[in-house]
Amino acid sequence: AKLLVLHGPNLNLLGTREPEVYGRMSLAQIDAYLAQLAQKAGHELASFQSNAEHELVDRIQAAREDGTRFIVINPAAYTHTSVAMRDALAAVGIPFIEVHLSNPHAREPFRHTSYFSDLAVGVIAGFGADSYRYALDAALARLD
């Protein structure tokens, strides 16, 4: 089946961006690793990153047309702001898991709210790049 991993703003800087918070793996490394895991399980993983809210909304809408069965999403800063991305996920009705590298609940109060968590199948946060791996694992288990 087709799966999609979505990365929000500033995640293109992974590896160099506050490495003590977000780790040293680059986004390309994370995406390659996830694609390999999905492939080994007999599935297909596409990935998309954007700093622009409307591009993320457009990609979520496109997921309905391209037959995506499951989404893993790190909305990054849009976690705490984006009604538009939340509405897009609700509109397409594709199950998704919310992911964060850091644990937003251990950080500033403005990171404690998410526009996504109550719609998500589940939320995985605080395990660095491994958060994505655990989320993909959970998504793959739900496809079988």
**Single residue of 96, 100, 115, 120 touching ligand DQA by CB under 6 A:** 100
The answer to whether 10 contacts ligand DQA (rule: CB under 6 A) is yes
Q: Is 111 in the site for ligand DQA (CB under 6 A)?
A: yes
Stretch that binds ligand DQA, among 29-37, 45-53, 71-79, 85-93 (CB under 6 A): 71-79
Active-site residue 22, yes or no? yes
| Known catalytic membership, residue 105 | no
Task: Check residue 104 for interaction with ligand DQA (CB under 6 A).
Answer: yes
For residue 69, give both structure tokens: 């069965």
d(CA 104, CA 74): 12
- Is residue 81 a contact point for ligand DQA (CB under 6 A)? no
Structure tokens of 97? 């898991």
> Rounded to whole angstroms, how far apart are CA atoms 61 and 27?
23
| 4 Cβ contact list (under 8 Å, min separation 6) | 45, 46, 47, 48, 59, 63, 68, 70, 71, 72
| Site of interaction with ligand DQA (CB under 6 A) | 10, 74, 76-77, 79, 100-102, 104, 111
Catalytic residues: 22, 100
